[in-house]
């Protein structure tokens, strides 16, 4: 049963209990989408303050991780203290590279602390534009390593030592491929040659030590290996509300019983009589052991990770080395889902090589499966961009191993997406005139289509595909809205603070993608309001609002209006145009860099509000705000003292005192800006739109025009992903206009 962990990756954790990677099987590092601090390089006080905040966020992200993911990730158990800290990933003890057929010559990447996470919203990853089949695996950020401490003895004669080579930058691990300067491939062809090592499988399950017991009806019971592994999954959710949910428990019991022996099935019939507490305690102890690892142990793990990354994390596509986004196959675990998903509690089975389809070039070596196993199938399909594929057991969805967002294939897709949205800009006036005319069409089908399109355009609603609510959470989009999701008011206040009421108000209240609530009151055109009244006539609350419309017919209509036009293009267009307009409106060229960044974030926030990119207010928000208030208070005191000192300063001291006063005043100003920014964005996720809906060239052009360093608004992840946009915009003399 156990896989030889793609190419003998032995689990050094002691216990290979599954689900130690991210729930979608991603590589060790999730894409960071953190907002970078607004400060100048010389502003050390504020810089230190922000660094502290970041560390706190990091710790919070780790402690909250179990709640924010899509599926449950039990911790690994470890008697030998050799697991990575906190993120609990598995590592190989010895990398036997000799058996590997193909090794791209790759220098070690610089590695960023793999624990660093900032989850802005559940949409962060799931909104990304992925793959040929609309696949959305989560993205990872490539590793980056701080200079390693020297283990050699101190040199006596430093001068005679040859100069040390500078550590290789991450750019040297993969090729910087300026694909946007090359000729485009024929339509449909994604690559000519593709070579990779296949996926890295989850380590085998390592049994619990004899001292850790599962109990049934108060009695100790030794479980079979598969049943015990599933017990560790459930132990990991004991502290979570999932363990109290009826559907979760019923589904878990149903799947758990499938892997039990007949004797176990006979005895274990009631989940309430199962005692997982000793397993839970053991898992928590292992977590603490990992936290207490020595620097040397951490360094060893880091090196092992890098060795894995060098082999499995690189694909060679058309002769260029490119990073792979998620080369680890997700381990088994319990499916949690979002928004009371009907399938929560079912067990995600272990993926074996026999489940995996490999896609690679015809003339390149086929990746070797682990010893004693074979691939399900090997394909040579250059019209798709995935490298490996398998079907996961709970939802029956296809999962894919894809290239990193910074790769050519992803970059080209992004570029085409934004160019399509720019083409829509030229046609939007005619399209709006057409759907406005269709509001009063004789055919109800046409009226419904026009009204839905009005909301998709004005409110950036998603299309909303039909789905089986027994198979998925009950979330909706525009086409799948039901009568119960809207209320009509002849006149009403849009915001509670409004003094006057507006005519023809529609109130939307439904769960959108990822079970995020969409609540909005909008004033609409009279004809739209009247149409909605007609659409809900003689219908029950659970009936479809647009009963004569579905997404496929809507998208078919859109394609007839413009080649390549879909509902998503409207969302991309409206998001990008909003950012461009808001930046023009809010930016004052005379402002400081910090104030300009505040304006940028405000423009970005308008887009996030339009797209309904929300996040829950962090548990530590109030605490962080209090600390910021205290810093402002302390800084005001320093400014007052410096002002007094300046008054009494004479001669040469006066200039020095003036400089100190000016510096402290600037620091106070930045702290106040940080306070405003932090509070305004507590419930809004800015990163999702920045990664998926906003043409990056708008941001690059704005930074160029206003002398704002790009790294103040784009993280390293953004800068890698949007290298094409940065080069195109900066190398052009003309200002980019979306």
Mean pLDDT (whole number) for 253-277: 95
Mean pLDDT (whole number) for 683-696: 85
Q: For residue 712, is pLDDT > 60? A: yes
Q: For residue 358, is pLDDT > 70? A: yes
Helix (H) / strand (E) containing 606 = helix 593-610
Q: What pLDDT was estimated at residue 612?
A: 81
Q: For residue 108, is pLDDT > 60? A: no
Partners of residue 544 on adjacent β-strands: 482
Q: For residue 324, is pLDDT > 80? A: yes
Instruction: Give yes or no for a contact between 350 and 331, defined as CB atoms under 8 angstroms apart.
Output: yes
| Catalytic option among 418, 504, 518, 693 | 693
Distances (CA, A) of 725 to 121, 180, 321, 600: 25, 9, 20, 18
Tokens of 55: 């560390």
Strand pairing class (357-359; 388-391): antiparallel
Name residue, tokens 């793999």: 114
pLDDT: which is higher, 170 or 286: 286
Q: For residue 615, is pLDDT > 80? A: no
Mean pLDDT (whole number) for 537-547: 93
In the chain, what percentage of residues exceed pLDDT 70? 75
Q: What pLDDT was estimated at residue 118?
A: 41
Q: What pLDDT was estimated at residue 55?
A: 52
Q: What pLDDT was estimated at residue 730?
A: 86
Q: For residue 285, is pLDDT > 60? A: yes
Cα dihedral 577, 582, 585, 591, rounded to 10, equals -130
Name residue, tokens 């906003």: 694
Angle between helices 567-586 and 696-706 (to 10 degrees): 10
Mean pLDDT (whole number) for 154-165: 42
Q: For residue 305, is pLDDT > 80? A: yes
Q: What pLDDT was estimated at residue 437?
A: 96
Q: For residue 214, is pLDDT > 80? A: yes
Instruction: Give yes or no for a contact between 129 and 414, defined as CB atoms under 8 angstroms apart.
Output: yes
Residue 597: phi and psi, rounded to 5, are -65, -35
Would you place residue 109 in the very low, low, confident or very high pLDDT band (cuts 50, 70, 90)? very low
Q: What pLDDT was estimated at residue 428?
A: 96
Across the chain, mean pLDDT equals 79
With b for 16 or more beta-carbon neighbours within 10 A and e for fewer, the 617-634 pattern comes to ebebeeebeeebeebeee
Would you place residue 256 in the very low, low, confident or very high pLDDT band (cuts 50, 70, 90)? very high
List, in order of start, the domains of the chain with CATH numbers.
Answer: 1-148+163-205+294-404 (2.170.11.10), 214-287 (1.10.10.41), 406-616+683-738 (3.90.15.10)
Active site residue 518: no
Residue 491 region, left (φ>0) first, then alpha (ψ -120 to 50), else beta? Answer: beta
Name residue, tokens 């002398």: 707
Least confident range from 82-96, 216-230, 508-522: namely 82-96
pLDDT tens sequence across 418-439: 999 999 999 999 999 999 999 9
Strand pairing class (194-195; 314-317): antiparallel
CA atoms within 13 A on the CB side of 628: 21
Would you place residue 160 in the very low, low, confident or very high pLDDT band (cuts 50, 70, 90)? very low
Partners of residue 315 on adjacent β-strands: 322
CA angle (331, 337, 338) in 5-degree steps: 145
Q: What pLDDT was estimated at residue 175?
A: 66
Residue 257: phi and psi, rounded to 5, are -65, -30
Distances (CA, A) of 311 to 101, 146, 167, 343, 369: 10, 21, 19, 36, 14
pLDDT: which is higher, 514 or 55: 514
Q: For residue 162, is pLDDT > 80? A: no
Q: What pLDDT was estimated at residue 71?
A: 36
Would you place residue 20 in the very low, low, confident or very high pLDDT band (cuts 50, 70, 90)? very low
Distance CA 175, CA 134 (A): 26
The answer for residues whose C-beta is within 8 angstroms of residue 637's C-beta and 6 or more apart is none
pLDDT tens sequence across 445-490: 999 999 999 999 999 888 876 555 555 667 888 999 999 999 999 9
Q: What is the pTM of this model?
A: 0.57
Would you place residue 88 in the very low, low, confident or very high pLDDT band (cuts 50, 70, 90)? very low
pLDDT tens sequence across 565-599: 999 999 999 999 999 999 999 999 999 999 999 99
Least confident range from 70-74, 138-142, 306-310, 708-712: namely 70-74
């Amino acid at each position: 049963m156990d896989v030889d962990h793609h190419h003998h990756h032995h689990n050094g954790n002691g216990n290979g209990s599954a689900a130690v990677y991210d729930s979608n099987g991603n590589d060790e590092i999730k894409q960071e989408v953190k907002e970078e601090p607004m400060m100048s390089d010389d502003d050390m006080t504020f810089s230190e303050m922000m660094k502290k905040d970041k560390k706190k966020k990091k710790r919070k992200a780790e402690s909250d991780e179990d709640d924010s993911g899509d599926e449950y990730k039990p911790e690994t158990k470890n008697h030998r203290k050799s697991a990575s800290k906190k993120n609990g990933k598995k590592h190989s003890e010895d990398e036997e590279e000799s058996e590997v057929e193909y090794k791209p010559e790759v220098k070690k990447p610089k590695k960023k602390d793999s624990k660093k996470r900032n989850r802005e919203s559940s949409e962060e990853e799931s909104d990304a534009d992925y793959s040929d089949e609309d696949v959305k695996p989560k993205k990872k950020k490539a590793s980056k390593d701080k200079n390693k401490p020297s283990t050699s003895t101190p040199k006596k004669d430093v001068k005679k030592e040859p100069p040390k080579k500078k550590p290789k930058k991450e750019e040297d691990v993969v090729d910087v491929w300026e694909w946007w300067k090359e000729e485009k491939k024929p339509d449909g062809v994604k690559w000519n040659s593709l070579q990779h090592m296949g996926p890295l499988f989850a380590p085998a399950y390592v049994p619990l030590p004899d001292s850790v017991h599962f109990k049934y009806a108060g009695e100790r019971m030794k479980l079979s290996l598969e049943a015990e592994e599933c017990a560790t999954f459930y132990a990991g959710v004991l502290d979570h509300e999932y363990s109290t949910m009826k559907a979760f428990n019923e589904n878990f019991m149903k799947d758990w019983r499938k892997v039990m022996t007949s004797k176990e099935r006979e005895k274990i019939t009631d989940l309430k009589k199962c005692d997982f507490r000793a397993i839970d305690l053991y898992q928590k102890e292992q977590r603490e052991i990992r936290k207490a690892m020595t620097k040397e142990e951490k360094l060893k793990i880091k090196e092992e990770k890098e060795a894995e990354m060098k082999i499995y994390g690189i694909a060679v596509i058309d002769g260029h080395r490119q990073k792979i986004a998620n080369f680890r196959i997700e381990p088994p675990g319990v499916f949690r889902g979002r928004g009371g998903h009907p399938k929560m509690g079912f067990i995600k089975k272990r993926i074996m090589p026999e489940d995996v389809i490999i896609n690679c070039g015809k003339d390149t070596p086929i990746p070797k499966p682990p010893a004693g196993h074979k691939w399900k199938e090997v394909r040579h399909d250059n019209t798709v961009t995935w490298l490996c594929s398998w079907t996961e057991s709970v939802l029956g969805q296809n999962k894919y191993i894809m290239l990193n967002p910074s790769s050519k294939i992803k970059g080209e897709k992004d570029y085409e997406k934004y160019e399509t949205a720019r083409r829509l800009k030229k046609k939007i006036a005619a399209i709006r005139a057409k759907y406005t005319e269709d509001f009063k069409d004789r055919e109800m089908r046409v009226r419904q289509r026009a009204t839905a399109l009005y909301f998709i355009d004005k409110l950036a609603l998603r299309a909303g595909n039909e789905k089986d609510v027994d198979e998925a959470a009950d979330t909706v989009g525009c086409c799948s809205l039901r009568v119960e999701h809207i209320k009509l008011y002849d006149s009403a206040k849009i915001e509670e603070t409004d003094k006057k009421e507006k005519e023809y108000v529609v109130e939307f209240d439904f769960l959108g993608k990822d079970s995020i609530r969409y609540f909005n009151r909008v004033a609409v055109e009279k004809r739209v309001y009247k149409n909605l009244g007609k659409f809900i006539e003689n219908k029950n609350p659970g009936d479809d609002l647009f009963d004569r419309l579905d997404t496929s017919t809507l998208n078919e209509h859109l394609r007839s209006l413009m080649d390549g036009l879909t509902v998503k293009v409207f969302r991309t267009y409206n998001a990008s145009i909003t950012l461009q307009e808001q930046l023009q409106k809010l930016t004052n060229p005379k402002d400081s860099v910090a104030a300009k960044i505040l304006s940028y974030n405000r423009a970005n926030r308008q887009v996030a509000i339009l797209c309904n990119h929300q996040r829950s207010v962090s548990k530590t928000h109030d605490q962080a705000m209090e600390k910021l208030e205290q810093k402002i208070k302390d800084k005001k005191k320093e400014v007052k003292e410096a002002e007094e000192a300046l008054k009494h300063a004479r001669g040469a001291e006066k200039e020095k005192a003036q400089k100190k006063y000016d510096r402290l005043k600037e620091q106070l100003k930045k702290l106040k800006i940080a306070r405003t920014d932090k509070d305004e964005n507590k419930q809004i996720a800015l990163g999702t739109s920045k990664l998926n809906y906003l043409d990056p060239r708008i941001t690059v052009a704005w930074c160029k025009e206003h002398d704002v360093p790009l790294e103040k608004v784009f993280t390293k992840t953004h800068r890698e992903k949007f290298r094409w946009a940065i080069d195109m915009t900066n190398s052009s003399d003309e200002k980019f206009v979306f």
